[in-house]
Chain A
């Protein structure tokens, strides 16, 4: 694949930061240093987006590395106040993403079939898939919580 040229200006301070990073990483040049840092950042962000935590072990004990995770942008999914659910909801409907995703998966539907079945734009269904993929741990944890709450109430 033919490489594309990327140009951007940096201040002397930023240049110094990149050089310091290059030395720390033992990279042969600035480009390699930046690429290594990008891969590392992507790996860490993927972990955090998937509901994981990053911990480092030091002589003083274990501490969590807090990453500044950029806010996700969704067009068809919205936050909604709920006593305990933290997953997003379908905009304009009282339906959590997990419930819709589970229904689509249970039915083995394609995005096109789900869009028609649920009377939603196909882009909304694609967002449901993307969100469910990224926040699978949260969705599964909340499905378990919902089932447990149901059992507790039934027993009471």
Chain B
């Protein structure tokens, strides 16, 4: 979306305007601003200290698929993908 280097609020607003769910590794910062924007959902990827809980790309894709097929409305929701198990 050409938003490299833009502020977190701008990125979240752009995602909301495009009706897209935001996927981020910058968990704490987006958690803090989430209530300021009527967003379409945020998926968080934590940099876990425990190696087994770290997510590789394939794990992220699998977790997103689980969220997608669950058919829950992501509007205003935040989900940590590290806790989603396929």
Contact = CB atoms under 8 A, between A and B. Distances in A.
Do the two chains belong together in a single complex? yes
30 contacts: A83-B32, A92-B4, A92-B5, A93-B4, A93-B5, A94-B5, A94-B6, A94-B11, A94-B29, A95-B25, A96-B26, A98-B47, A99-B47, A100-B25, A102-B25, A102-B47, A103-B47, A106-B56, A107-B56, A107-B57, A146-B27, A146-B28, A146-B46, A147-B46, A150-B27, A150-B31, A150-B44, A150-B46, A153-B31, A154-B80
A150 B80 contact: yes
A30 to B, nearest CB: 46
A144 interface: yes
Identify which of A93, A100, A150 gathers the most chain B CB atoms within 10 Å of its CB: A150
Interface residues of B, number: 24
A118 to B, nearest CB: 11
B24 to A, nearest CB: 9
Contacts, number: 60
A150 B29 CA distance: 11
